Structure 1
């Protein structure tokens, strides 16, 4: 048996074991409450939390949002920072929060910089997708409306998931993050966060399309970044936009032919209720908003409009959670 087939067989066998483990760890909860669980495969074990919104009725198919925390965070902190559970209660969707393990990264960063986590079917992204499948098997999920969004390291992992699992996730949000394969080593990651990736966004756009198997589908992505981010250089936001525009140029018709333009169709300047100026760039193709970029003036490494009781909040900014959900709900498979 080839190594590829052997890994595939082991993965299939492990999935069955993982589901049993998760069922034992995470019995279904009442509406408007947490479900805590753990998911395991040949690629490791990670815990998760699932928010079941108020009013959930078994059998009623709801959208699912995967929320990915950043470094020095956990699901509770990201949920508090973003107020995503409150939005889920109001708009009626499930929220899955995967949790990075301390034994895998002492600062709880997702290990987006390593090649084992940058391809389909392996590493940490495969664990997150496994959790999604678990939720689908235990709750009524509208498979046409499964989304993923994150901040910082969680945002870079979002880029990987949107690149390599565009058949699973309908749309994504990259908040203070970076493009797919912005770095492939730990030292390269430090350089990319400080100065921007050394790699071409156009080349990475092709790589992202290839990671999902060169599909004929588009990948809607919202990119949000602060102009004063001194942790992840704002150029990473611009590179992320360019990369996913290129991915969509391939995805709409299978060719690099500028059928998806890298020029915005609309640019709007506005001010948040908290006083932050920001610029919005829309990239529309065929009547579909494929890419949207929010450039928040003066914001550092933060979640805009976040709860100031939690780290990495910029309460003066526009409400990042509302921006994310408003973008997501425009897209259905």
Structure 2
């Protein structure tokens, strides 16, 4: 019997699987406990595809207020896309009544400050370790309160995330109240119209002293959003264009992309906006376009080169200008 157990363990090792702990079942949503420090009590759920890549990317998909991990798993395309591209999806679940995220406390808005943001990053570390994940391909996206958290994570943990996609959120720190899971009506109603420098500094100050790469950001919003006023789109654009040193005036505009009535705005290789005319807070998720932004459908190098050339105004005759600054 000891021989059989030893032989089985050796076979697992050859396949790249260790017997240190059970792997989560694949192709279904599974809860994970004891994933690391979790001061807020945030819940972790995971989807591991049957067709898991050898060094899988990780996508964190964050639900809206009143939502759950299961609701976001069932209502978004990320699990099916995981089967196509071989990445692992993490679905965090808010621990609070009403299931909004804590994007309002000082702890949540500070690198390694604890709270929900730190718990989610610890989920990422768990997945990277357990599944031999690719640390250079960790992405985050979310809707509404989950979009707010996406901006917060991009600001507080730029060393963890390579790119983020926001669906109807607000800038990082906009919802600050100094309380856990607070509501900021001034922010939600779009009453803030602050400078690009202010918002960029808010993002930078979430991780003092950090000078490394920052995540590429794509921002979606609807002009008829009455839950989180469309002004939050413009303030978020200010935040991330400021971080990257871009103008708030788009260099390229693409009507009806990724679909009507949306327009895609390119501000630079690392920042895009997608604004839906007449679209409410019930905003559509564009899974295929998300995969392009995250680099699954084209190589990250090719995608970034194309965006850079678009931004610089290059054409088939190689006419254009150099980036300065």
TM-score range, shorter chain: 0.7 to 0.9
**1:233 correspondence with 2:224:** no
Task: Give the match for residue 53 of structure 1.
Answer: 49
The 3-state SS of whatever aligns with 2:159 is: coil
Normalised by the length of structure 2, the TM-score is 0.78
Task: Give the match for residue 252 of structure 1.
Answer: none
Q: Please show how residues 78-97 of structure 1 align to structure 2 within 5 Å.
A: 78-97=72-91
Task: Give the match for residue 98 of structure 2.
Answer: 107
Task: Give the match for residue 279 of structure 1.
Answer: 263
Paired residue for 1:173, among 165, 175, 179? 165
1:147 positional shift:
0.4
Task: Give the match for residue 108 of structure 2.
Answer: 117
Task: Give the match for residue 265 of structure 1.
Answer: 251
Task: Give the match for residue 323 of structure 1.
Answer: 289
Normalised by the length of structure 1, the TM-score is 0.76
What's the Cα RMSD here? Answer: 2.2
Bigger-Rg structure (1/2): 2
CA–CA distance in structure 1, aligned partners of residues 222 and 271 of structure 2: 17
CA–CA distance in structure 1, aligned partners of residues 258 and 206 of structure 2: 37
Counterpart contact for 1:117–1:124, Cα < 8 Å: yes
CA–CA distance in structure 2, aligned partners of residues 47 and 327 of structure 1: 27
Paired residue for 2:126, among 116, 134, 139? 134
Unaligned runs of 5+ in 2: 1-20, 305-325
The aligned length equals 273
Which structure has the highest strand share of the two?
Answer: 1
The 3-state SS of whatever aligns with 1:214 is: coil
Q: Deviations over 1:200-246 (max 9, x none)?
A: 44212122123233314243101001111110001101110110111
Counterpart contact for 1:31–1:56, Cα < 8 Å: no
CA–CA distance in structure 1, aligned partners of residues 130 and 30 of structure 2: 11
Unaligned runs of 5+ in 1: 1-25, 250-259, 305-318
CA–CA distance in structure 1, aligned partners of residues 287 and 23 of structure 2: 26
Task: Give the match for residue 163 of structure 1.
Answer: 155
The 3-state SS of whatever aligns with 1:121 is: coil
Counterpart contact for 1:144–1:170, Cα < 8 Å: yes
Task: Give the match for residue 222 of structure 1.
Answer: 218
Paired residue for 1:301, among 252, 263, 281? 281
